[in-house]
Chain A
Amino acid sequence: MDGFWLAALKVLIAFALLFNIVLVLVWVERRLVARMQNRIGPNRAGPAGMLQTLADGLKLMFKESIDPRRAQLGIYLAAPVLALIPALLIFLIIPIGAPITIGDTTYDLQVTDLNIAVLYFLAMSSIAVYAIVLAGWSSGSKYPLLGSVRAAAQMISYEAALGLALVPVILYNRTTSLAEIVAAQGGTFFGIFPAWNIVLIPSFIVFLIAGFAETNRAPFDLVEAEQELVGGYHTEYSGFRFALFFLAEYINLFNISALTVVFFLGGWHGPVFGPTFLQYLLPIFWFLLKTAAVIFVFIWARASLPRMRYDQLMEFGWKRLIPLSLVWIMVVMVAVGLRRFGLPWS
């Protein structure tokens, strides 16, 4: 039963952690974007406005939830729940720090280490498409339907790019487990440069761009392009139902940033020194620092880039990212082959 309680404890911690991350993340984004746009941003609720998100969440709790007349109520209510679950589940596979040894037991700072974590991540992101498709369809309204058809096509296009961008990583690291991928990035090149997977530069770029599209962030936020689609798939959602979509969106932002760090930026690896407790805390610090840097890029892009047109978006995905990743996989496989097996005719 010990294993059960450990798993339950980890899940609870992960759940609480994610909610706090979202609270901070939304506030950070609003403040940052405000500064970039020469505004001040929320600064009233709590110190420097930090409690603004909490206040917004509580407000939404007390707002009326409208059941639109034409909605298919069962599916309509299930959609926001379905958006939240995959976001929560993806977080489970992310290693946030080096394993900690207390006494004789080693605790992984990762809720669960799946052998096929990469496949699991892709499967979960494809389930996230359902939430949007079903929300749009079941609302029984024009804008949500338009938004969700667009969103579905966008998300599946970039999910293909996302998956292809990960093939070189697996080739290079010989594993699909995230803990092992991070472990494989531990060494250095020539004793100075950290041996992160970022050497697979095209993969990194494709993954990051596809990540923007997969989380429906600007400049790929056509899903909820206000000027054309009002609110996109969640036009008809009000009150806490909308809050669930919002929550899922920010958890996904954190997840994709954390996964970028895990796959390409060395995970929790970084200079570690000092007493034992510092050796356990520093990896977590490095991981969070790198993740914060990636999140900053996401927010920066949102503040600076205009939204793409839909035809540009689809053509960029299928005519640039996917051919690029296919050719890059071939290059990597020949390079890795040469390194591991020598020349084919020798």
Chain B
Amino acid sequence: MDLSAYLSIALMAMLGTGFAVVALWASKRLAPNNPTPEKLAPYESGIVPLQEPAERFPVKFYLVAMMFVIFDVEIVFLFAWAVAMDDFGWAGIAAVGLFMLLLLETLGYVWKRGALDWNVAQRARYRVVVAPEPPVEEVA
């Protein structure tokens, strides 16, 4: 098959990499280089770092990535259909409509379960527990 369309992509990738590598190398050669322990330490606004940077993040980030996988697959299917829409007529629209309704339902479910709530103070579960604040008892 004709791969000439990819020739320029390969050329540009090589040119870009070449430029970046040469520029980084030249900069390393041209610029002064006198490292000190302070300079090489991780930047923490002037405070001496005490621990490894790895921290724990909310699992929500993982969930977002998961939803992205789902929507990415959906986008690919929609593209494949959208180009050839004329060949399928209403049957295609019905098939895709069903598919999209199921995904909308997925989104609705996720939304309802609070997986899209990033504001901790507004989370439904949080409100239930925290909202009715117990009256402060006066100490006699």
Binding site for B on A (CB under 8 A): 3-4, 7-8, 10-12, 14-15, 60-70, 77, 80-81, 84-85, 88-89, 92, 111-114, 116, 118-119, 122, 139-146, 149, 152-153, 156-157, 159-160, 163-164, 166-167, 170-171, 174-176, 230, 235-236, 239-241, 243-244, 310-312, 314-315, 318-319, 322-323, 326-327, 329-330, 333-334, 336-337, 340-341, 344
**CA A160 to CA B78, docked complex, whole Å:** 12
B20 with A61: CB separation less than 8 A: no
**Contact string against A for B residues 21-41, beta-carbon threshold 8 Å, 1 for contact and 0 otherwise:** 101101110111111010111
Nearest-neighbour CB distance to chain A for B49, whole angstroms, equals 7
A85-B17, A310-B118 in contact; A61/B27 too (CB < 8 A)? yes
- Among B30, B31, B97, B107: residue with most chain A CB under 10 A: B31
A10 with B8: CB separation less than 8 A: yes
B42 with A171: CB separation less than 8 A: no
Residues from chain B with a CB closer than 8 A to the CB of A122 are 75
Nearest-neighbor residue (CB-CB) of B17 within chain A: A81
A340 with B20: CB separation less than 8 A: no
Main secondary structure of the interface of B (DSSP, over half): helix
A142 with B86: CB separation less than 8 A: no
Size of the B side of the interface (Cβ < 8 Å), in residues, is 69
Binding site for A on B (CB under 8 A): 4-9, 11-13, 15-17, 19-21, 23-24, 26-28, 30-35, 37, 39-45, 49, 53-55, 57, 61, 64-65, 67-68, 71-72, 75-76, 78-79, 82-83, 85-86, 89-90, 93, 96-97, 100, 103-104, 107, 111, 116-120
17 contacting pairs across A/B (C-beta < 8 A): A10-B8, A11-B11, A64-B33, A64-B34, A84-B20, A89-B13, A92-B9, A139-B42, A153-B65, A157-B64, A167-B78, A170-B82, A174-B85, A176-B79, A311-B118, A327-B104, A330-B100
Main secondary structure of the interface of A (DSSP, over half): helix
B64 with A153: CB separation less than 8 A: yes
**CA A230 to CA B55, docked complex, whole Å:** 17
Residues from chain A with a CB closer than 8 A to the CB of B41 are 68-69
B31 CB contact (under 8 Å) in A63, A114, A235: A63
A66 with B26: CB separation less than 8 A: no
Residues from chain B with a CB closer than 8 A to the CB of A85 are 13, 16-17, 20
- Please name 8 further chain A to chain B contacts, defined as beta carbons within 8 Å, in addition to the given A92-B8, A114-B5, sorted by A numbering: A62-B27, A77-B24, A84-B20, A145-B53, A164-B78, A236-B42, A330-B100, A334-B93
B11 with A336: CB separation less than 8 A: no
